[in-house]
Structure 1
């Protein structure tokens, strides 16, 4: 199974600078912990967010790939993982790593954020090949027919997400390559939270309900679970914007009082250079 820890380790070998060496070190030290808590979180997320009535009745099936039917065990595999639960598990893993090592958690989140969209791309491509998380019916020319489910042309919502997440990965990777040494801690993490979960919120309108209780709801479970992540990303970015405004106002006041700079030089210092 390809996971985020594997992807971050791969990227740590692409460029021999201190940031990627740091990333590789983090991956080696926390990779297994991230992998385990990501999968556990994804499993618990599905069971508790989407099918709580069933799994609270049969709690052993949360951890065991078997079901108890008609007095006999039947192998079923692990039927259901939720990306929101996986994200929560990943956050817990990083916070535990921070508590143990003292390395600032936002710094770790930033490096994981570089690889996370690519991991999401692979996950959605796997969903596409397994006919999971299918879209609503459509007559669009690129509609897919998921023969394991029915013969109805549907939105390939998994492919939409895979393309979006790959685009987000390329964007974040480009930002890191160009401005990585000057970015504040948490910048990439906040950006990825906003991009991924905002897209996830809107793409849910094109998806078939995953569980019966979502039918008739204004927002489905995936959308409700996306809102807190969007808000966290927004809070992080508001903090950066406020900090930058305060910094620019202080610089403006200092320069005006000293009268030691021209208007053109002032604009160059106050307005960030394009990427």
Structure 2
């Protein structure tokens, strides 16, 4: 282990960071570890130590990180329940030349949290907004998934109710990119099953407890992953689900081609059989094709 890198396991070994008196006024969006405390960056610690105030989603969680590295900067809670009330006060402080750092419980702030409103108001007020990059569960999962990375779309948390969840996935069915979702353990099996219905047997990965002791990435196609977690039960920890993009065959099937194929198939078969035949030929989800075939039949 390099001697110049602080070790969170040894409090007596930590003699850094030191506040940076040259830190410019502004709002600093500071990424923090998603599990392993050693994933903090030197620059992030410099900013946290040099700031006048740290805005934390949960001060209890952030306090553990600050105490580990000997940061004594004052903290204030900033979350869903008080953000609208205290945001004008924070903007006033920033306009007065304050150096304020914003952190979330883990990872990069503003990703799947309402923190963007503070950044937006700061920008509108002409205040500098400075990103301090670092850990991100979405990007860590993408790196481990073994899926295409040239184009990806982060879709955030999936809806908790099954009806809205299916509609949510359908909005991304034709996106030519790897899809990234956050999910909870108790809903994982149902969510994977809904993905399989909408996306078909695409390759996917379930990344769990990233950077932590029980880190795990399970890869397979969506039906197999749905069956696996339905049998094993809800896993513990934070979960990232990644779904591969449509295959080349799927991408070639635009709306006009789909409609033509369904109409031709329905001349000889039932709606159900026509949808199944086009699903087999195109690789598109049978469920979507069945609904589309019903709509076409009703307009005929």
Normalized per residue, the structure richer in helix is: 1
| TM-score, length of structure 2 as denominator length | 0.27
| TM-score, length of structure 1 as denominator length | 0.28
The structure number with the bigger radius of gyration is 2
